[in-house]
Each structure stands twice: as structure tokens, then as C-alpha cells.
Amino acid sequence: MAAVRWKCLNSDEEELIHEKSIETLSDIGVLVRSASVLSMLEAAGAIVDASTRVAKMPESMVMDALEKAPVAFRLCARNRVNDVVLPSDGAPHLTTDGLTLYMLDMDTGERRNATRRDYSSFAKLADALGAIDFFWPIVTISDVPPQCHSAYELWTAFGNCSMHVQGDCTDAPDARRQIELASLVAGGMDELKQRPLFSVATNPISPLSFDEGAVEAQVEFAKAGVPILCHSMSMPGTSSPVTMAGTLVNINSENLASIVITQCASPGAPHIYGSSSAPVDMRTGAIDFSAPEHLFISAAAGQMARRYRRPCMVANWGMGRDGPGIQVSFSESFSYVSSVFSGSDLIPGIGGLDCSKGCSLEQMVIDSYIWDNFRAFLRDFRVDDGTAALDVMRDVGHGNCYLTHGHTARNYRNELWMWDRKKLSLESTLSDKMLPEAKEAAKTLLASHEVVPLDRDITEEGERVLAEYSRSVS
């Protein structure tokens, strides 16, 4: 299949990034703040310094892990129709922004913390919007014990959307609670392993370190068959070298190390290559996804993922920056949207504001509607003897018209994109003037969309597990 995708590294440059990553892991190593995971890695062949907690991974160990990790798998959903197949076929699969700190109230416009009830609305709206393929907890809820927020978010998502859920985790006990909750929905632990209804983003702490709680949770998830996303956040000049090549080596090294950890814990466990890396604005210290360097970072990371035949999440999507609407210039907009040509299988960002610090329901609608039109540029086109259409050319002959030929009538809907003019008109509205329309669309969808509920006994058991968890951390 032919498709428009960026490729920014030539073969020699790609090989250099690989070689420098292998050198990084074997000579510099990674800091692993967990005695149990260090022991596991040492038993598998890593050279471990117990005093510094640094594990050095020889090339053979890295390549063995890459051989064991599956090249294709599913992110399964409560409704099988919503399963996400990796790697993606055609346009990438989109999800919401993840774990923002605040939301904008749809009625008052005020910034505030999100409750579990708010979170239910975000999950339901995501389920209703056709542009969103799976649900990443878009905002951190504040009316539950902080140590338990991930488990509450996972369970609330299961009850309010029928898609795959991608979450996060704080430590191994939290991981075990989430696995228990998901197994209730799946029908048991074995069923969850066969059909993982959720996946988990585990962020290395750049540069080259893995926190105790997160890495021990990663081991628990790998053993349960829950897909792991290594979400490297390498920021040039702060958490990675300021050069783009140095940043890419850091991203690649962290991903390879994460794959090793997953495969040591459970050979064959599903793993996603990931990056949400961009420069910081040196004037403010805030991460800047509109920076032109973000295109190179995303495209090059996607290229390295394809080298290793890894499903990946390396790009970002979303028009919200300072507030709901499209508060960016033409140049900044191009930077946001161009990263999706990186070959990323999964892309987060719908509904996010303020460089992923905030979110809003209206922005979910706006970003989704724009994506509905934009994904026309990401389609695959079949190029073979049949689509070359020489037999049709012979029929039509020289200087004649193809419009009345049956071949055109049979194929034009597959080959030619038909713009949704209503959604295009929303895009053309200046700045934040589209907010009333977006707000109305969000309210209509929340009122009319129905999600098949979980069985009552499953819901009650999940709430019991959460209540017990809350008591244990209090």
C-alpha cells in the first residue's frame, strides 16, 4: 500500500542511532530504582552495579528481547467492534490527551479540578465521537484518594465507554488492583490475558532511569498480558542532549531498555514503542509541541520503531493550546499536524489544552471534527495491476472521458475524499468563535449517546474492590 509518510533518516543515520543506543545500554546503562527488577535483569544477563543501581544491557540481551516481543497484537475493547489492531492499517488510531491536571467547566468556562462524575462525561463523549478509537484517561480525578486515582479512572472508563482503555499506574499494588478490576470485566485472569481490555503507559524518567513504583508495576502488567507503552519524554537540553540526534538516541535507548524489562518479566508480552518528546520553550520552561523540532523527533522515532517492527505511539494531535478553539498560528498548526505523518500507529492529544496541562469537552469535539477531515491525507492507496487500470484505459481510448465508465462509478468513493462541509465550516471560524457550536455538539452527544452498561454484579464487585483499596491506602 502507498501512503504519505515522513522519512527523515537515511540508512546510515538510522544505523548510527541504533548503534549509539546499543552502546548507551551496554556502556552507560540505565538506572533502575528497584531491587527486584535489578535482580531479574541480572539473572537474564545484565551487568548490575548494586551500589549505583545501574544495569548495563549487552547487545545480545537487547536483540533477544526484540525477537521475543510480538510484532502485532490487539488493544481489545469491551465491544469487540472497537478493538484496535496494531500495527495500524491506514490512518493511525487516535485517543484523547492523557492525565491533564485541570478541566474547563463547559457551562462556566472556569478552570477547576475534575471529579469522577466529570470523568464519566469525558469517557462517554469519547465513546460517542467517531474520531476517537480508544480512551486514555484525559484528566486526573480529584475526589478519590490520590494513590488510587488510576484504578478509579480505569473502572470509571470501563463503565462509561465501550472502547479500549489506556491508563497509568503508580506501583505494583496499584497494578494488581487494576488487573483485578479488568479481569472482572473480561471474565477472569486468563480471559484478560487473551483479550487485554486495557494497556498502560509507563514513563521512564528521562534521562535513562526507571522509577521503582512504575517499573515494578510494568513487571506485573507484563505477567498479566497487559500491553505496555514506554512513553519516553525526552526534552532536548533538559532531559536529553540538546541535539536532535542525542535526543533520539535517548528516546531509542529508553524504549529498548523498556522492551528488555517487559520481555524479561514475561517473554512475548505486548509492548509499544513510545515518545511524547519535544523541546521546552527556553523562555518559560514549558514543553512546546508546536516547536518545529517536534516533527523531526516524531518522524525519526517512528522510523526507529519500524526498524524494530514495533507498534508505536510517537506523534501528537490537538489544536488546543491556550484555551478552547484553535489558538495557534498557521505555522504552529502545521507543526502540530505534521507529526502525524511520522508513521505512528497510535496518537494521543484530543481534547487537551495548555500543552497537556488542561482539557475540555468542547475541545474534544473540535479536535475530533478536525481529525475527521484531516485523516483524508493519511489514507493508504492500493498500487497494483488492478488499480493501474490499463484495461479501463483501453476501453476509454485516447482523448475521451472516464466519467461515464463503470470503473469510475465503482471506485470513486474509495479513491476520492468527500469533505464534510459542516465540519469544515467549524474549522474556518475565527479563534474561539466555534465554541458555542462545539458546546452544543458535546451536550447533544452526552444526552443522546448510550453506552451498554456493565452487568450489575460486576459493577458492584468493582466498587467493592475500589472501596477496599481506598481504605487500605488511607
- 417-471 pLDDT per residue, tens: 888 877 777 776 666 778 888 999 999 999 999 999 999 999 999 999 999 999 9
- pLDDT for res 1: 64
What is the band of 319 on the pLDDT scale with cuts at 50, 70, 90?
confident
Backbone angles phi, psi at 325, to 5 degrees: 115, -155
pLDDT single digits (tens) 152-174: 999 999 999 999 999 999 999 99
Which of 329, 407, 336, 323 lies closest to 371 in space, CA to CA? 336
- 292 — pLDDT class (breaks 50, 70, 90): confident
Question: Residue 111 forms beta bridges with which residues?
Answer: 104
Enclosing H/E stretch for 228:
strand 228-232
Report which of 293, 194, 309, 287 is spatially closest to residue 245, judged by C-alpha positions: 293
Question: What is the gyration radius of the CA atoms in the chain, in angstroms?
Answer: 23
Cα–Cα distance measured from residue 16 to residue 353, given in angstroms and rounded to the nearest whole number? 36
Q: Is pLDDT above 80 for 332?
A: no
Sign for the CA dihedral angle at 114, 115, 121, 123 comes to positive
Instruction: Look at the block and give the residue holding cell 514543553.
Output: 287
C-beta neighbour count of 91 within 10 angstroms: 18
Confidence class for position 355, pLDDT limits 50, 70, 90: confident
pLDDT of residue 469: 96
- Per mean pLDDT, which of 180-184, 275-279, 368-372 is the most reliable? 180-184
What residues contact residue 381 under an 8 Å CB cut-off, 6+ apart?
1, 2, 3, 387, 415
* Domains delineated in the chain: 11-63 (no CATH), 67-378 (3.20.20.480), 385-415 (no CATH)
For residue 308, the 8-state DSSP code is T
Q: Phi then psi for 32, rounded to 5 degrees?
A: -125, 110
pLDDT digit string, tens, across residues 105-125: 999 999 999 999 999 999 999
Residue type, 178: Q
The Cα 65–Cα 43 span in angstroms is 14
What span, in angstroms and rounded, lies between the C-alpha atoms of 36 and 33?
A: 9
Mean pLDDT of the chain: 93
pLDDT score recorded for residue 430? 61
Q: Interhelix angle for 11-23 vs 293-307, to 10°?
A: 80
Of the pLDDT bands very low, low, confident and very high (cuts 50, 70, 90), residue 258 is: very high
